[in-house]
Amino acid sequence: MVDYLINLVATAIIRSALLLPYAIRVRFFGWVMANFVGRIAGYLKRARYHLGFVWPDMPDVERRRIARACCNNFGRTLIENYSGSELQSRAEAARIVGNGLAALEKARAESRPVIFVSGHFGNFEVPRRALTARGFVIGGIYRPMSNRYFNAHYEKTMMDVSGPVFPQTTKGLMGFLRVLKKGGMVTILVDVRGETFPDLDFLGKPAPTSTSAAEFAARFNAVMVPYFGRRLENGLDFEVILADPIPPGQPSEMMQAATNAIADLATRYPEQYFWVHRRWRDRTDI
């Protein structure tokens, strides 16, 4: 019943926000998340805690600033992903940087599968939208939200973009693997904690990290490419970072390379990493 009521309130807020002009809507949702929801839900506290865990010497005033900016980005990302065609226009206008595009063109010409690895940074749906506009068909796999009522409509924001998107269930995994087997392109957010995952280094701390993306790459001879959607200074536009493919190797080495790519961006642009995300082991009390 609690989840149902939370979804009713959240849905009403989202629908009301969608009536606003796009730029006002995005800024408003960022402000609300940073000033109200982030405080009530404990996101600001959790973000400050994680920042202090990773960078214990960071002054408290800086941790507070980054935590607020993180929640602002979180709110913007949420409403952007409900903004369909308007976010698509921004993604299509995004400049692509990095050397990965040639590798993608080659993989597509050879009908070779591609696994995009990304993380909770900037707006993680923007790269898929940007590449879809350039003729690529990209699916994905995601972890369903704990609130099934909210998840039912949030998952639609991912499914309406490009290729098929599958929940992280046994049935969903089978569909995901079929896409790879046929030479398709898929996305995995790899900075997701699982208690049975092996620890890899993330920002100098051990973080449980699945090696499945690298194992799938080896199994299907897929190209593994890190990509990210970095929010630009105006808060509304983006740059798509399309990195060089990760060389084949041991799964743990490949996943460490993917994790390092996320860590590099989190260090350079800490305001855009989702510090509200429970990433490290034994950090569940915040």
- List the domain boundaries for the chain: 2-81, 94-270
pTM for the whole thing?
A: 0.92
Ranges assigned E (strand) in the chain: 95-97, 114-118, 138-142, 165-167, 185-189, 199-202, 205-208, 223-231, 238-242
Contact at 8 Å (CB) between 213 and 246? no
pLDDT of the residue at 153: 65
Query: What is the C-alpha to C-alpha distance for residues 110 and 277, in angstroms, rounded to an integer?
Result: 37
Number of residues in the chain: 286
pLDDT of the residue at 249: 96
Contact at 8 Å (CB) between 190 and 117? yes
Contact at 8 Å (CB) between 114 and 49? no
pLDDT under 50 in the chain at which residues? none
The two most distant CA atoms of the chain are separated, in Å, by: 52
